[in-house]
Amino acid sequence: MKQAFKGDFLIGAAISKPLFEEETFATLNMVAGQFSSVSSCNMLKWGSFNPEPGVYNHETADAYVKFGTENKMYVVGHVLFWHNQTPKWVFLDEKGETVDRAELLRRMRERVRHVSKRYGTRIQAWDVVNESFMGSGKLRDSQWTRIIGSDFIEQAFRIAEEELPEGVELIYNDYSMTGKGKRDAVVRMVRELKEKGVLIDGVGLQGHWSKKGPSISEIEASIIAFSEAGVGVHITELDIDMLPRKEGMWGADVAKRLVGDARMDPYRDGLPEARQQELAKRYADLFQLFLKHKDKIKRVTFWGTTDKYSWLNNWPIKGRISYPLLFDRAGKAKPAFHAVLGLKDKQATPDE
């Protein structure tokens, strides 16, 4: 894949700690062979990386950066500031009281300084802020906005620019940005930052999509809108959910938890051929769109590697068997993989 799409855009996969614990490293080897970019699922999030004041879990994060660097990949740091998976201590002082704006900004700076010193330009892009807008376009109410105020995003990007080495790309990342409310809000935010002279290089459109939606034209409108705002477009977190969805199961709010019966988990014995073909067609349509806009798209990253490791096996209903990616549970390329590659000259085959 990385050869086939060379010259079009980077092609990435998000990798997680269990891949470093596999006996044969089969999945990591597959990633090294197929992908030109990597993202970290949890390893660099504040909660995993720095769970207590002064306590750092460097081991897997270091292994992640080493893997990406050794394989000459575009290494993405995910994520500096998010309302989820950030430990409570970040917002509290020694007495357990909420810190003030100045102290929170200081802690944010300390975090960026730490990763900057440790990884420097080996991490080539950071998701600086994740998921800070609601579908309506309003800023999300969170500890960040409550303590810092409505300029939280601006402050985060200023800190990132000041503390990270020059050339490291700074990205705003979010889901459901094909909806008009959020799309317009993010375009406005990008333009405002640029007017103030604050660096923002890219917008990451999380592609947690399904076989039905969003439509190709909705996705296209967002790619064009972000590009016209003057940033590179990154398709991040791409996966296509083939399992049934019901009311309230859209987006990618990780805090959402639902219960479902067997009807919500219909493919426990494998994805039927007709569904495989549907998935292949959906991916081919998406990649056709991405190729059409390759001048605007810097990277297309899948959220995961093989179906076995997908978060969609557990979201929003725990323990289902999901089929959202290009590689099956055994690591074998699926019809969707061939459909995507089929759009290009046959420069690479999965068995090579």
- Which residues are catalytically annotated? 131, 237
**DSSP character for 300?**
E
Contacts 24+ apart (CB under 8 A), 88-96: 89/52, 89/53, 90/46, 90/143, 91/143, 91/147
- Pick the binder of ligand GLA from 31, 159, 252, 326 (CB under 6 A): 252
Site residues (CB under 6 A) for ligand GLA, limited to 58-97:
78
Do 153 and 172 touch, CB atoms closer than 8 A? yes
Site residues (CB under 6 A) for ligand GLA, limited to 171-230:
175, 206
Q: 12 or 335: whose CB is closer to ligand GLA?
A: 12
Show the tokens assigned to 81. Answer: 């500031």
Enumerate the H helices of the chain as residue ranges: 17-21, 26-34, 46-49, 58-70, 101-119, 143-147, 152-163, 180-195, 216-228, 273-292, 335-342
Q: 30 or 252: whose CB is closer to ligand GLA?
A: 252
- Going residue by residue from 133 to 172, which x/- string records binding to ligand GLA, judged by CB under 6 A? ----------------------------------------
Please give the backbone phi and psi of residue 134, each rounded to the nearest 5 degrees, phi first. -90, 165
What residues contact residue 241 under an 8 Å CB cut-off, 6+ apart? 208, 209, 210, 211, 312, 322, 324
Instruction: Report in angstroms how near the CB of residue 209 gets to ligand GLA at its nearest.
Output: 12
Instruction: Report in angstroms how near the CB of residue 64 gets to ligand GLA at its nearest.
Output: 14
Q: 181 or 251: whose CB is closer to ligand GLA?
A: 251
Site residues (CB under 6 A) for ligand GLA, limited to 23-52:
none
Q: 46 or 335: whose CB is closer to ligand GLA?
A: 46
Instruction: Report in angstroms how near the CB of residue 311 gets to ligand GLA at its nearest.
Output: 4
Q: Which residue is nearest to ligand GLA (CB)?
A: 311
Instruction: Report in angstroms how near the CB of residue 308 gets to ligand GLA at its nearest.
Output: 14
Q: Rounded to an integer, what distance in angstroms lies between the CA atom of residue 83 and that of residue 263?
A: 33
Q: Rounded to an integer, what distance in angstroms lies between the CA atom of residue 91 and that of residue 120?
A: 26
Residue 244: Cβ-neighbour burial (10 angstroms; 0-12, 13-18, 19+): middle
Q: 255 or 262: whose CB is closer to ligand GLA?
A: 255
Site residues (CB under 6 A) for ligand GLA, limited to 257-316:
311
Reduce the DSSP state of residue 86 to 3 states and report it. Answer: coil
Is 130 a binding residue for ligand GLA by CB under 6 A? The answer is yes
Candidates 282, 277, 180; CA nearest to 238 is: 282
Do 142 and 132 touch, CB atoms closer than 8 A? yes
Instruction: Report in angstroms how near the CB of residue 39 gets to ligand GLA at its nearest.
Output: 9
Show the tokens assigned to 186. Answer: 């993010």
End-to-end Cα spacing for the chain: 11
- Pick the binder of ligand GLA from 237, 241, 307, 328 (CB under 6 A): 237
55 C-beta neighbours (distance < 10 Å), count: 10
Q: Which residues would be at the binding site for ligand GLA (CB under 6 A)? A: 78, 130, 175, 206, 237, 252, 254, 311
